[in-house]
Copies of this chain bind each other. A is one copy, B any other.
């Protein structure tokens, strides 16, 4: 079953467009933890257990593992998601981007080593740099389009041939990348007007939306701007707001509580006209 099919099934199975981002920040761990790399694995598995029936996807951010030499723990976490929640989509957030032979190795890292359903990639090097990802059968390639950070307009909104660069990316995705493989895009929740413009170009292509929660994106605005004609089409990511929600109860309980609230808020917005 390919990425699109798995994503559709996951949206349905848990009635959820919520994605929980696994950004295990040692400095923000519960006080009871020991703070070593093994704690990263334990912490993530507890978050997965607490939220796996509430989400369409988990998205581990590889930098949080690579900074501390915790690749083995990331492998274990990915295998745990597969084992415990086989219907949930696994997205490796790596934002890779490199030329041909090197891109093939990054595709191997994401799709073989970590067995992800999809990986985030950077388009700056062009279509040939994305082909090794796009050409992998049944896997998803999620291309950065308009990122959630404050400085994203600096290059992404430069106007070329009468339209900003991020819309050019959306157009190439719809016209070219979509014909090579199972393509999706990243558009930050902090830019709902831009999200609506991208949606108008890409039809029913899935869009990964980071930036709600700690980064301040508004859920109702995001869903209204970004949903497709089936009122689906979004993978709405929250990381810090769920992982480190409320220190007055156990972190797993507080993660579950915030995940339910967020999923429900997304679903309310999805159904209004």
Chain A: residues with CB nearer than 8 A to chain B?
23, 25, 61, 63-64, 66-69, 71-72, 75, 95-103, 105-106, 108-109, 112-113, 122-129, 144, 147-156, 158-161, 165, 168-169, 172
Contacts A98-B95, A160-B160: A151 and B125 contacting too (C-beta < 8 A)?
yes
Contacts of A124 in B (CB 8 A): 97, 122-124, 144, 147, 155-156
Number of copies: 2
The reply to whether A98 and B63 contact each other, CB–CB distance below 8 Å, is yes
Q: Which of B72, B149, B160, B172 contacts A159 (CB 8 A)?
A: B160
Which residue of the partner chain, among B125, B152, B154, contacts A144 with CB atoms under 8 Å? Answer: B125
Cβ of A66 and Cβ of B105 under 8 Å apart? yes
- Decide yes or no: A67 and B158 within 8 Å by CB, A122-B122, A124-B144, A149-B100 being known contacts: no
A126 touches B149 (CB 8 A): yes
Closest to A102 in B: B63
Contact between A113 and B71, CB atoms less than 8 A apart? no
Q: Which residues of B contact A147 (CB under 8 A)?
A: 99, 124-126, 129
- A159 vs B144: C-alpha distance in the bound complex, in angstroms? 20
Q: Chain B nearest CB: distance from A178 CB in Å?
A: 16
A152 to B103, CA, bound (A): 14
Minimum CB–CB distance for A155 against chain B, Å: 6
Contact A67 B99 (CB under 8 A): no
Q: Which residues of B contact A158 (CB under 8 A)?
A: 160-161, 165, 168
Chain B residues with CB under 8 Å of A150's CB are 128
**A66-B105, A113-B67, A158-B161 known; A126 vs B99 contact (CB < 8 Å):** no
Inter-chain contact A151/B126, CB cutoff 8 Å: yes
Given contacts A151-B126, A151-B129, contact A64 B161 (CB under 8 A): no
Are the CB atoms of B149 and A129 closer together than 8 Å? yes
Q: Which of B105, B148, B152, B165 contacts A64 (CB 8 A)?
A: B105
Name A155's contact: one of B99, B100, B126 (CB within 8 Å). B126
Chain B residues within 8 Å of A159, by CB:
160-161
Residues of B within 8 A of A144 (CB): 124-125
